[in-house]
């Protein structure tokens, strides 16, 4: 009796386990069909979300993107790339930034990365970055003429400025090389030759929001040439003569200044420099701007004047003054939907603390309230 009761109990137990296993198997099948991270079904889901994203214009004019357009290793709808000038010892900060950018955006879009350095990248750096992405990654050393002093610079005068400067990074020679490179040479690097747009990235930055569209394509479709996110006012001691030098350029080359320009953003009613600039550690740019004869002439004029070394002109005010002279406001875009932090300042879209796909506190994103961002909204 006892033995047959035990046999019935065992049979029941086996039956229940078998049914549970079957249910589990069916559940897993269903789950993997919907959420397979490599299979076709995910691309189907994503494709439909792209189609419903207003940024793509729902089939209106301009190029239309499909998820398949963004497979790793294939040409993208826009010839764009994420570009960083960086040092080997920035590896950890750069890995953090790339990890976030991948999670928030590029795991779907797979735009290539380009890393530039004044010294050869170590294998450790290359592997540390490559481990984080399926997108193509290229590394290169700078052309020697793009880093250092042009021969007309008085190095003693430059040294005196470094030794007496009291502003941030005032003592640094390499920081000045970096600013000059970003102002006049990054767009000429051979690895950028085939690009139409670049998105500048840096170590130790944060991206607070999912970015559910392709900003490169958005710029292309809307005829935008410069995209920015944070706009502070430059520290005066670093740009003591930049505005005068720029005005001199405009006097000499009046035909180069666009008829509908944005100069009202960089000069006030009395003609003084507002020092408003786009913080160029984040910028998405149609490189035809930097490759234009006007931009080249402007950079050459500044470089001759020597303020990269006799002061500490940053690439941010230089790029911004060029944008103000050469572009109209409708060609410039405030990416205020992209939550972003670079050490010292953050931009956090409204409402991000409670809802949506951003996680940041607008109260801590104090760049939101900057005078220059407000002034931007006011100018026509």
Q: Note the residues at the interface with ligand GDP (CB under 6 A).
A: 84-87, 90, 117-118, 174-175, 178, 202-203, 281
Look at residue 321 and give the partner it binds from Mg ion, ligand GDP, none, a contact being a CB closer than 5 to 8 Å depending on partner kind. Answer: none
CB of 234 to ligand GDP, least distance (A): 11
Closest CB to Mg ion among residues 88, 241: 88
CB of 329 to ligand GDP, least distance (A): 26
Distance CA 145, CA 154 (A): 17
CB of 242 to ligand GDP, least distance (A): 16
- Region binding Mg ion by CB under 5 A among candidate stretches 36-44, 217-225, 256-264, 280-288: 280-288
Closest CB to ligand GDP among residues 100, 202: 202
Spacing of C-alpha 28 from chain mean position = 39
- The 3 state secondary structure assigned to the chain is CHHHHHHHHHHHHHHHHHHHHHHHHHHHHHHHHHHCCCCHHHHHHHHHHHHCCHHHHHHCCCCCCCHHHHCCCCCCCCCEEEEEECCHHHHHHHHHHHHHHHHHHHHHHCCCEEEEECCCCCHHHHHHHHCCCCCCEEEEECCHHHCCCCCCCCHHHHHHHHHHCCCCCCCCHHHHHHHHHHHHCHHHCHHHCCCCEEEECCCCCEECECCCCCHHHHHHHCCCCEEECCCCECCHHHCCCHHHHHHHHHHHCHHHCCCCCCHHHHECCCCCECCECCCCCCEEEECHHHHCHHHHHHHHHHHHHCHHHHCCCCHHHHHHHHHHHHCCHHHEEECCCCCEEECCEEECCCCCCCCCCECCCCCCCHHHHCHHHHHHHHCC
CB of 47 to Mg ion, least distance (A): 36
Look at residue 117 and give the partner it binds from ligand GDP, Mg ion, none, a contact being a CB closer than 5 to 8 Å depending on partner kind. Answer: ligand GDP
CB of 323 to ligand GDP, least distance (A): 18
Look at residue 178 and give the partner it binds from ligand GDP, Mg ion, none, a contact being a CB closer than 5 to 8 Å depending on partner kind. Answer: ligand GDP
- Region binding Mg ion by CB under 5 A among candidate stretches 66-74, 194-202, 236-244, 288-296: 194-202
Closest CB to Mg ion among residues 106, 182: 182
Q: Which one from 161, 283, 311, 331 is the annotated catalytic residue?
A: 283
Among 202, 210, 264, 336, binds Mg ion (CB under 5 A): 202
Closest CB to ligand GDP among residues 160, 174: 174
CB of 178 to ligand GDP, least distance (A): 4
Closest CB to ligand GDP among residues 108, 342: 342
Question: Other CB atoms closer than 10 Å to residue 232's CB: what's the count?
Answer: 18
Closest CB to Mg ion among residues 205, 224: 205
Residue nearest to ligand GDP (CB): 174
Is 283 assigned a catalytic role? yes
Binding of residue 212 to Mg ion (CB under 5 A): no
- The residues carrying an active-site annotation are 283
Which residues of the shown chain bind Mg ion in the complex (CB under 5 A)? 202, 281
């Amino acid at each position: 009796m006892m033995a047959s009761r035990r046999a019935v109990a065992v049979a029941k137990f086996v039956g229940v386990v078998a049914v549970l296993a079957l249910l589990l198997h069916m559940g897993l099948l269903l789950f993997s069909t919907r959420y397979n991270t490599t299979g076709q079904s995910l691309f189907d889901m994503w494709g439909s979300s792209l189609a419903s994203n207003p940024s793509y214009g729902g089939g209106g004019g301009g190029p239309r993107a499909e998820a398949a357009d963004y497979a790793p290793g294939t040409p993208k709808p826009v010839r764009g790339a994420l570009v960083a000038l960086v040092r080997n010892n920035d590896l950890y900060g750069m890995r953090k930034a790339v990890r976030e950018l991948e999670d928030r955006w590029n795991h779907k879009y797979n735009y290539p990365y380009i890393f530039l350095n004044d010294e050869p990248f170590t294998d450790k750096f290359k592997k540390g970055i490559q481990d984080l992405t399926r997108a193509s990654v290229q590394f290169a050393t700078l052309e020697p003429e793009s880093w250092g002093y042009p021969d007309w610079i008085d190095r003693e005068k430059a040294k005196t400025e470094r030794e007496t400067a009291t502003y941030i990074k005032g003592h640094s020679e390499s920081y000045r090389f970096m600013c000059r490179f970003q102002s006049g040479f990054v767009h000429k690097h051979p690895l950028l030759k085939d690009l139409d747009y670049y998105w500048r990235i840096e170590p130790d930055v944060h991206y607070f929001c999912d970015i559910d569209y392709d900003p490169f394509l958005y710029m292309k479709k809307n005829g935008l040439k410069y995209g920015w996110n944070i706009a502070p006012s430059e520290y005066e001691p670093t740009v003591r003569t930049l505005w005068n030098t720029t005005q001199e350029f405009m006097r000499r080359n009046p035909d180069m200044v666009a008829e509908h320009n944005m100069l009202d953003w960089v000069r006030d009613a009395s003609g003084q420099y507002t020092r408003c600039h786009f913080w160029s550690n984040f910028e998405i740019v149609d490189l035809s701007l930097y490759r234009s004869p006007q931009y080249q002439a402007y950079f050459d004029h500044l470089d001759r004047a020597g303020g990269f070394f006799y002061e500490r002109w940053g690439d941010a005010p230089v790029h911004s003054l060029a944008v103000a002279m050469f572009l109209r406001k409708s060609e410039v875009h405030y990416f205020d939907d992209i939550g972003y932090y670079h050490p010292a300042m953050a931009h956090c879209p409204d409402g991000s603390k409670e809802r949506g796909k951003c996680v940041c506190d607008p109260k801590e994103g104090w760049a939101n309230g900057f005078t220059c961002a407000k002034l931007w909204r006011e100018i026509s």
